[in-house]
Structure 1
Amino acid sequence: MSAAPTPEAEWLNPHDLRRVCDFLYRHTGMVFGESKRYYIERRLRDRIAITRTSGFAAYFDLLRADSREREQLINAFTVNETYFYREEHQLACLSRSLLPDLAAARMPGDKIRIWSAPCSTGEEAYSIAIWLLENWRMVDAYNVEIVGTDIDTIALDAAHDGLYGERSLSRLTPAVRDAYFEPEVNRHRRIIRDLKDSVSFTQANLVDEGTLGGLGTFDVIFCRNLLIYFDDESRLRTAENLFNRLNPGGYLCLGHTESMSRISDRFLVRRFEDAIVYQRTGPDA
């Protein structure tokens, strides 16, 4: 005789599981389903305990009524796995190919805007700043503005704080650590103030055009390892939003397992020595 299902296994019925998955999809573009049941239930249980609601029904009522709790649940489901100099070949492409190409049409002192989305806990955006200071000799000739955005407000708080452990720093040389981080305390190092002030962070949702308009447009966008969590509809919506935020002739960098060619035909595939990137076409490109 087989064992009876445990109460925990039956805690979230199929209808309620679908309600949660639909909620997450509408607000983040990420696709969840039965295969992620344990992952979903564990995070829901944590939020129910923290909010002291009586169960799923009461919690879901709270979720629909309280924007702050919606934000906290979204935070619980986002993935913030990153480290400094991740996918370094794209940073090399930025300094050796993309920025020289863009700068050729600019005057010294002109603004060049770079967007890191999602920026996670800050390593992605700060990596761009450090890399350019170390590897692009023209960095001081232009007004380079770096903006990091994420849907996860907890991750953004960490980015503002700029405190990182050994795993995040593992790809950086001792010389780079010493140049851009304060001395180590309890196996963590904090970004120096000058570098922290050179990068701005704000909340934005890549599948929601309404949260992006205030950001303006950019010359280079790094959007890496996000589209793998989306379905076709969310990918297409995000591609349109990214296209609209790029200046004509601007460049989009995706993760190494992602391809814009399978999502949208609005970008021109550009193959540089260090990386494949995607360029916004248009009459002014």
Structure 2
Amino acid sequence: MSLPGTTTAGAAGGQLTDAQFARVREWVYRRTGIQFGDNKRYFVDKRVSTCVRENGGDFNLWFASLRTGANERVAQQLVNELTVNETYFLREDHQFDSLVRTVLPGIAETRRARRDPAPIRILSVPCSTGEEPYSIAIRLLTDWPGIEEFDVEIVAADIDTRVLDLAQRGEYGARSMHRVPPAMRSTFFERAEGDRYRVREDVREAIDFTTANLCDTAQMRSFRAFDVVFCRNVLIYFDEVSSRRAAENLFGALRPGGFLFLGHSESMSRISPIFDPVRLPEGIVYQRPAIGATA
């Protein structure tokens, strides 16, 4: 099978042709919402070449399997290779302060007033290698007294199946652990091989890890009734269309009145007007309007 403007030699040699790069870039955009500019050409070339080489070395046949959906393993491998995963424990911890000092106490007060026994549900997406959802769990156990009164469910999701495996294992090195205080290390981690640490088993078992594609509306319909969503430092990789679609999917994942945390360089006001910005002492969060709320 041959596609116009492509050659096997381009990918096998470690550099895509312009036509190959364009086709891969379009496929990735349609699949994930992430758009790679020309400045990411080397990054894409290197990882695509690895995928082609590990699947027979013929770009045309490899890409045909992507385009037709004939081999989901091949497709997922490319997504895993091109996903950027940069995180560590307690990153932008002022937002965890907002969570335990203001957001969760407010949710708890509403639950009590309504005598609502439903668990408080928190979603971390994308969760990468797990540092964020584990940070949420640890901060709740350390700093939120309401954890003794309310059941809390934490769901962690990512499009990259490789990082989900690492997250479930819960083992980390110095780079991930550099902001974790000694007391927190001794309480919630155990020493692993070398200088590595592993999250305590009961904390690992408290997180439900699953796959999610923020730009896949059909898939995101399975994420509903969350009180809080952390979606940090991913919308910056999306264009306007993908960002708006992701925002709508996150809106659907939240209960009315639920809260959305974004990364420090992200602003929902530039993406969509469907959320209300809320200024808390520690910074801005975004809220899905409660039922019956007016602008």
Q: Tell me the TM-score range normalised by the shorter chain.
A: over 0.9
Alignment counterpart, residue 57 of structure 1, candidates 57, 60, 66: 60
Closer, same or farther: CA 10–174 of 1 in aligned 2, 3 Å: closer
- The residue aligned with 1:156 is 164
Deviation for aligned residue 1:280 = 0.5
**Count, aligned residues:** 278
| Structure 1 letter corresponding to 2:110 | A
**Structure 1 position 78 matched with structure 2 position 86:** no
Determine which of 95, 100, 109 is the counterpart of 2:100.
95
Q: Deviations over 1:196-234 (max 9, x none)?
A: 111110001000011122232200000000000000000
Aligned mate of 1:263, from 265, 271, 279 = 271
RMSD of equivalent CA atoms: 1.6
How far apart, in 2, do the equivalents of 1:105 and 1:34 lie? 49
Partner of 1:235: 243
Q: Which runs of 5+ in 1 are unaligned?
A: 1-6
Q: How does 1:47-196 map to 2 (within 5 A)?
A: 47-54=51-58, 56-64=59-67, 65-107=70-112, 110-196=118-204
The alpha carbon displacement at 1:63 in A equals: 2.3
Q: Which residue of 2 aligns with 1:29?
A: 33
Q: Which residue of 2 aligns with 1:18?
A: 22
Classify 1:227/1:58 alpha carbon distance in 2 versus 1 (closer, same or farther; 3 Å).
same
Point out where structure 2 has 5 or more consecutive residues left out of the alignment. Answer: 1-9
The answer on 1:202 being equivalent to 2:207 is no
Letter in 1 for 2:131: E
Do the aligned partners of 2:88 and 2:131 also contact (CA within 8 Å) in 1?
Answer: yes
- TM-score when normalising by structure 1: 0.93
Farther off after superposition, 102-111 or 131-140:
102-111
* Corresponding residue for residue 4 of structure 1: none
Check the 8 A contact 1:86/1:124 in 2, yes or no: yes
Q: CA deviation at 1:25?
A: 0.3
Letter in 1 for 2:65: L
2:168 & 2:192 partners in 1: Cα distance? 18
Q: Distance in 1 between matches of 2:61 and 2:235?
A: 32
Q: Give the distance between the partners of 1:178 and 1:185, measured in 2 at CA.
A: 16
Letter in 2 for 1:191: V
Q: Is 1:249–1:284's contact at 8 Å kept on the other side of the alignment?
A: no
* Cα distance per residue 1:20-77 (max 9 Å; x no partner): 11001001101113221111110011111211233x2122123232111100100000
Q: Distance in 1 between matches of 2:171 and 2:75?
A: 26
Aligned with 1:278 (options 262, 265, 286)? 286
